[in-house]
Chain A
Amino acid sequence: MNETIIEARHLVKHYKELNALDNVNLSLTANRIYGLLGRNGAGKTTLMSILTAQAFATSGEALVFGASAYENDAVLSRICFIRESQKYPEDFHPQHAFRSAALFYKNWDQDFADRLAEDFQLPLKRRIKKLSRGQLSAVGVIIGLASRAELTFFDEPYLGLDAVARQLFYDRLVEDYAEHPRTIILSSHLIDEVANLLEHVVVIDRGRIIMDADAEEIRGSAVTVSGSAEKVDTFLAGRKILHRETLGSLASVTVDEALGSRDRAEAQELGLELSPVSLQQLVVRKTMAGPGATGAASKTNDFADDTLEARR
């Protein structure tokens, strides 16, 4: 049942001036919802493009359903990957795009596509060129959902969608996934919004995988300790610190490890407050603590801006 569906070995994608992928190894099993998280330009789209043979790796191997997808109809017919900047034929309306998808996906559900179009208030008979950014995203989301491909990629599917439409997408995805289990890979930088959907999280930064773990595992894996700076530092001496913030004599420190019950009791005695770290915070902290980020103050600021922007 849970066979390996994606296997990436030593994937490298080298562009002129940067390594878009830098020795990526990944093994994903079937019928789960994965989050592929990372900053803009971290390598998410590049990785998905190579897995689906839309782009080519400089070196390394990418196997999907046990084989390379390149020119392999047996593999390709089970994959759907509508990219964030997907192009459509010149005169196409959304209904034409859906009828095209129906030609290629044996599990295509037209009723589902129609219902989704209604949900997203997508005009079916308008040229795709004339659609707004949100409506364009809706076309891609509908193809991705209604195709019911065994392996479906969503590439930042929410761009331009309002809060209601985004919630609709998350709801429909979970409902349909429950009825028709398949493998979903959701690439996103809106981590808080999708955190609850994800069963497994892969974080990529500067072309490297920096986190690859089950969501459950991650939830308790870090903790923020706050209280008087002196006590916090004593308590956390020798632990792996991800982030430290001070305000006057108070400190709030995030550690990259779980605390046992004895530690927790001790913290309580010291009057320290323990709070869970959200997935988004954890990803942000880990990314900022990563190699190349040290000493680059401007870069960290960029990231703060990015996350802010994404949440707007």
Chain B
Amino acid sequence: MSRTVAVARMQLINKWTYIGWPLTILAASFLMSIAIFALIPVTEGKNGGGSQAPLWYFLVLGIQSMTLVFPFSQGLSISRRAFYLGTLGLFSLIALGMTALYLIGGVIEKATTGWGVYGYFFNIPWVTEGPWYSTAAFFFVVMMFMFIVGFWFATIFKRWGTTGTLISTLGTGLVLIGLAALATLAEWWGYVGNWFAQQSPLSISGWTALLCVVLAAGSYATLRRATP
């Protein structure tokens, strides 16, 4: 257990990687969004996609933790299990912290009518329209999803190299296209549309969380036999 905690602490030794950079990216994207909102002379609510900026960095973190931190952890003779649990635990902590920031930002944003310029950065149509816990669940799960997708692709890459990554990427694409073709042929699109229309941010979070669990379990199975 202590070695698992140490894996998380190890990755916080350089504060920039997990704390400094996400906050910098968030702050920069926030300030730029507000500047742009201020330039648009409209007194109705304005929305932008700036709040997703840190998510892309999480994808990169997920990849790097597998391609760089994992080999280092092997050098220090850390078991694969301790590395996996420690890293995933750290992911969750960071995602939790970021979710809290987004929630607080959202509250302030509403109280100040969009920072005085009618600009909405943390409030996103549909996503943040439910109760607070549904918003929180959505942010948290989406952040975890980005980490885990990055991590999962990197495990595939570590284990099976470029060929394996290509096959799994193309394979995923083919399956999706196949499903779309099937839906078209069988004329299921109406049902699909209906299904999506019925979803709430909370239920989408639930489905995404399920996908996260599957991918996380998949990464662990792959990691068990990965070499640095």
Interface residues of A (CB under 8 A from B): 49, 52, 54-56, 69, 71-73, 76-83, 86-93, 96-97, 99-101, 103-105, 140, 143, 149
Contact of B68 among A76, A78, A90 (CB under 8 A): A90
Q: Are A55 and B79 in contact (CB under 8 A)?
A: no
We find that the number of chain B residues with CB closer than 8 angstroms to chain A is 27
**Chain A residues within an 8 Å CB radius of B10:** 100, 103-104
Q: Are A89 and B17 in contact (CB under 8 A)?
A: yes
Q: Is B169's CB within 8 Å of the partner chain A?
A: no
Q: Which of B20-79 contact A (CB under 8 A)?
A: 64, 67-69, 71-72, 74-79
Q: Are B77 and A89 in contact (CB under 8 A)?
A: no
Q: Taking the nearest CB of chain B, how far is it from the CB of A70, in angstroms?
A: 8
Q: Are A54 and B228 in contact (CB under 8 A)?
A: yes
Q: Are B79 and A71 in contact (CB under 8 A)?
A: yes
Whose C-beta in chain A lies nearest to the C-beta of B76? A104
Q: Are A89 and B68 in contact (CB under 8 A)?
A: yes
Q: Which of A79, A83, A100, A105 counts the most B-chain CB atoms under 10 A from its CB?
A: A100
Task: Evaluate whether A80 and B69 lie within 8 angstroms (CB atoms) in the complex, with A55-B227, A89-B64 already known.
Answer: no
**Chain B residues within an 8 Å CB radius of A149:** 77
A-B contact pairs, 23 of them (CB 8 A): A49-B227, A55-B227, A56-B225, A69-B77, A73-B82, A76-B79, A78-B77, A80-B75, A80-B76, A82-B75, A83-B228, A86-B71, A87-B228, A88-B68, A89-B14, A89-B68, A93-B14, A96-B14, A100-B10, A100-B76, A104-B77, A140-B75, A149-B77
Q: Are B6 and A104 in contact (CB under 8 A)?
A: yes
Q: Are A100 and B77 in contact (CB under 8 A)?
A: no
Q: Which of A77, A86, A93, A104 counts the most B-chain CB atoms under 10 A from its CB?
A: A104
> Chain B 185-207, CB within 8 Å of chain A: the 1/0 string?
00000000000000000000000
Contact of B72 among A69, A78, A89 (CB under 8 A): A89
Q: Is B168's CB within 8 Å of the partner chain A?
A: no
**Chain B residues within an 8 Å CB radius of A99:** 13
Q: Are A104 and B227 in contact (CB under 8 A)?
A: no
Q: Are B79 and A72 in contact (CB under 8 A)?
A: yes
Q: Are B77 and A81 in contact (CB under 8 A)?
A: yes
Contact of B3 among A80, A86, A104 (CB under 8 A): A104
